[in-house]
Amino acid sequence: MDFSKFEEKAGVNFHDKALLKQAFTHRSYINENRSSAGEHNERLEFLGDAVLELVVTDFLYKKFTEMDEGELTSLRSALVNADTCALVASRLGANDYLLLSKGETKDQGRARQYILANTLEAIIGAIYLDQGFESTKEFILHNITSLTDEIVKSGAWVDSKSLFQERSQEHEGITPVYKTLRESGPDHDKHFTVGVYLEKELIGEGDGKSKQDAEQAAAREGLKSKNWH
């Protein structure tokens, strides 16, 4: 596979093309193509996730000197969550290079968004191994932290759970309850779907790579559903 157009768009010229290919290789592809040389991208994803969090944390700490740690944590979460990572991956055209099983190729829904998000983290891990920390930091600053002002303006970083609880008690005198509706994926890559309820009524659902992220997403949907922004 020729990755030159992706490299051009990402602004990175890989020395080790096999490393970039690995970043795009989903476990399902390896399972379906046993004779294929190479590895899936989950170790790279593990590495990239850590590098991404460090760079974003450092950026936010220096940019927002008046924010406390709670606000910084919420803003960081909005920048590194699956929705943002999938968006950045899509803008870079990553979807055109994914190596997936036939079954995964057909799925264009929420599952594909998670694959794209994980792939972006794997790409970051690959850049780190191939180019070093400074090049990786430059990639993250250009493609991810550049969305900070947009996210702050939209309010997408606000602690939605706290806001939904505040609005629920203010308008209906009820404390919301969160329930896990579904879990999927292997232990190292769990995905959760959580529902937020007011008494027995399901108000919103949300997905995330952790229960906490899924609860935040459910609260955001609840705020939209109730028009409580």
Instruction: Place 19 in a pLDDT band, splitting at 50, 70 and 90.
Output: very high
Mean pLDDT taken over the chain: 91
Q: Long-range contact list for 158-167, CB < 8 A, 24+ apart?
A: 158/74, 159/70, 159/74, 159/216, 160/216, 160/217, 160/219, 160/220, 160/222, 160/223, 161/215, 161/216, 161/219, 163/219, 163/223, 163/228, 164/196, 164/219, 164/222, 164/223, 164/228, 167/223, 167/226, 167/228
Average pLDDT over residues 83-99: 94
Q: Is 121 a catalytic residue?
A: yes
Instruction: Check whether 158 has a pLDDT greater than 80.
Output: no
pLDDT per position as a tens digit, 162-184: 889 989 999 999 999 999 999 98
- The answer to whether the pTM exceeds 0.85 is no
Average pLDDT over residues 48-60: 97
The active-site residue out of 121, 130, 207, 221 is 121
Complete domains list, the chain, with CATH: 4-154 (1.10.1520.10), 160-226 (3.30.160.20)
Q: Is 170 a catalytic residue?
A: no
The active-site residue out of 2, 32, 42, 49 is 49
Instruction: Place 79 in a pLDDT band, splitting at 50, 70 and 90.
Output: very high
Choice among 11-15, 34-38, 193-197 with the minimum mean pLDDT = 34-38
pLDDT per position as a tens digit, 26-46: 998 888 887 776 899 999 999
What's the confidence (pLDDT) of residue 209?
A: 80
Instruction: Check whether 98 has a pLDDT greater than 90.
Output: yes
